[in-house]
A and B are shown apart, each in its own frame.
Chain A
């Protein structure tokens, strides 16, 4: 199976939030299908941890020159997923389509993924981590992701990496030509050394990257420092053990020499 990719195109988005509703409904249905929860209970609570797509609507500028943008907060299914790397129980895995998925049965709710994720995506609820799983079960059975399936305006589309990138670049080029504003495909290329490429890309005017909260250098300095010190610690510990053994051998030799010369007494 080739790499599966999703794209959010900010231009045709009509801010209906059907994608968010679709995501929430699908995840509730999943619980019902797997007999984790009854139908009544699944529709009563807000169960926010099951809404893996949270739109953040903002208004930019001042009236009458104002406009609305909808930034989506979601898992980007990073190529070099820091959550997957840090998980101490291997509860985060990569499926065939490269979706980064939390295996609930293995998760112990230690929050390591939350600390590692530079986009602050995972949510801890009832001792388990929750985040978008890319509807891998639907995709592996030939269906589209729930959010993509719900979108009425074609603002969300998915497919193989090649298909999605081709369409995304074509749209970005068209928008640039029509509006005169440079449009980019965020996440199509390696974003930085922490996350690599993203499997959830966004077509956005370049000047609005910040407005859509699309971080061009996503990383957590504290966690980078932790990783660097781990390397120093490993090298340092080996050097200290080697130095200690070396010192003991040297010290015993020197001691023997001193005893043979009669400078110290043997005890």
Chain B
């Protein structure tokens, strides 16, 4: 039987697990503020809320409840992020999101390898993450920072200028839209059959077989060997 290697520790798995539903709450509660196309969410929640609060306006009641959910989820996510961020900062130089090789050519090669793997279904030696996953992680970090800062600026908008609040609102929406598009790709690839082992490791076991890592994540395997972690 192949040896099990821990690829995601308990803090990472706990954070990711709760990140999933908090981001879902934040997305669902934020979409109706972003566009009238999502008013049905506010109406859906507004019907029971208006009935309970004796409110005459279903849309306003729904939107007020969604704002409460949005603020609460954001606050919980902030609290949850503190230990995770500290853990990541401690090993910032060794994070998987940094490229295995730097430079334009290395990035192009990374995309060629992804093409081989996802389109041609050929065997490729990846690191813990492939180029697409690394780029995704970098975009997530940047957009989450912008979302957090702009979100808190909007919560405390009375302390800042009107112009700054307008920029914060725009930055909040733009960074969410970028993150949202990336999340669709992330969700698709997370449940894709090729990523079954990663999915299992993230949501259930935290580990992968040594043989699987050697075969599919060769660069990562070499790195673990070099660091005497295997």
A residues lining the B interface (CB < 8 Å)? 88-91, 105-108, 110-112, 114-115, 120, 220, 222-223, 225-226, 229-230, 232-233, 236-237, 240-241, 244, 247-248, 250-251, 254-255, 258, 264
CB pair A223 B184 closer than 8 Å: no
Are A232 and B177 closer than 8 Å at their CB atoms? yes
Within 8 A of A (CB), among B24-56: 32-36, 39, 42, 56
Tell me whether B169 is interfacial, beta carbon within 8 Å: yes
- The residues of B that contact A251 with a CB separation of less than 8 Å are 118, 121, 192
Q: Decide yes or no whether B148 CB sits under 8 A from chain A.
A: no
Chain A minimum-CB-distance residue to B157? A111
B 165-208 contacts with A by CB, 8 A: 165-167, 169-171, 173-174, 177-178, 180-181, 184-185, 188, 192-193
Interface size counted on chain B using CB atoms at 8 A: 37
A105-B56, A251-B121 in contact; A226/B170 too (CB < 8 A)?
yes
CB-CB under 8 A for A220 and B57, given A108-B67, A237-B181, A241-B184:
no
B169's nearest neighbour on chain A, judged by CB, is A115
In contact, A115 and B166 (Cβ under 8 angstroms): yes
Given contacts A112-B169, A222-B170, A226-B170, 15 further A-B contacts (CB under 8 A): A88-B32, A88-B39, A88-B42, A90-B59, A105-B56, A106-B59, A114-B162, A115-B162, A120-B162, A220-B166, A223-B170, A230-B173, A233-B180, A237-B180, A258-B121
B181 engages A88 (CB within 8 Å)? no
List the 9 closest A-B pairs by CB distance, nearest first: A233-B177, A222-B170, A244-B188, A226-B170, A115-B166, A89-B60, A229-B174, A106-B60, A226-B173
Instruction: For the complex formed, measure the closest distance between the CB of A84 and the CB atoms of chain B, giving whole angstroms.
Output: 11
Give chain A residues whose Cβ lies under 8 Å from the Cβ of B118.
247, 251
Task: Give Cα distance in the complex from A247 to B3, angstroms.
Answer: 33
24 pairs across A/B with beta carbons < 8 Å?
Answer: A88-B32, A88-B33, A88-B39, A88-B42, A89-B63, A90-B59, A91-B60, A105-B60, A106-B57, A108-B67, A110-B67, A111-B157, A114-B162, A222-B171, A226-B173, A230-B34, A230-B177, A233-B181, A236-B181, A240-B185, A241-B184, A244-B185, A251-B118, A255-B121
Q: Known: A222-B170, A225-B170, A240-B181. Is A254-B121 also a contact (CB below 8 A)? A: yes
Does B107 sit at the interface, judged by CB under 8 A? no
Is B64 interfacial (CB-CB < 8 Å)? Answer: yes
Given that A106-B57, A244-B188 are contacting pairs, would A88 and B63 also be in contact in the complex, using a CB cutoff of 8 Å? Answer: yes
Interface contact A111-B165, CB-CB below 8 Å: yes
Instruction: Give complex CA distance A220, B167 in Å.
Output: 9
- Contacting B57 at CB < 8 Å: which of A105, A112, A264? A105
> What residue in chain A is nearest B64 (Cβ atoms)?
A108
How many A-B pairs with Cβ below 8 Å? 91
Supposing A233-B180, A240-B184, A244-B185 touch, asked if A225 and B60 sit within 8 A by C-beta, the answer is no
Contacts of A225 in B (CB 8 A): 170, 174
Instruction: Tell me the nearest residue of chain A to B184, going by C-beta.
Output: A240
Closest chain A residue, CB of each to CB of B55: A105
Kindly report which residue of chain B lies nearest to residue A241, judged by CB atoms: B184
Query: Across the interface, do B59 and A89 meet the contact criterion of CB distance under 8 Å?
Result: yes
Q: Is the CB of B184 within 8 A of A88?
A: no
Is B170 in contact with A112, judged by CB distance below 8 angstroms? no
Residues in B108-166 with C-beta less than 8 Å from chain A: 118-119, 121, 154, 157, 162, 165-166
Which of chain B's residues have a CB closer than 8 A to the CB of A105? 56-57, 60
- Distance of A106 Cα from B64 Cα, bound (Å): 10
Q: How far is the CA of A230 from the CA of B180 in the complex (A)?
A: 11
Collect the chain A residues with CB atoms within 8 Å of residue B174's CB: 225-226, 229
Would A110 and B60 count as touching, CB distance under 8 A?
no
Looking at the assembled complex, report how far the CB atom of B135 sits from the nearest CB atom of chain A, in whole angstroms: 15
Looking across the interface, which residue of chain A has its beta carbon closest to that of B34? Answer: A230
B67 proximity list for chain A (CB < 8 A): 108, 110
What are the residues of chain A within 8 A of B166 when measuring CB–CB? Answer: 115, 220, 222-223
Chain B positions within 8 Å of A240 at CB level: 181, 184-185
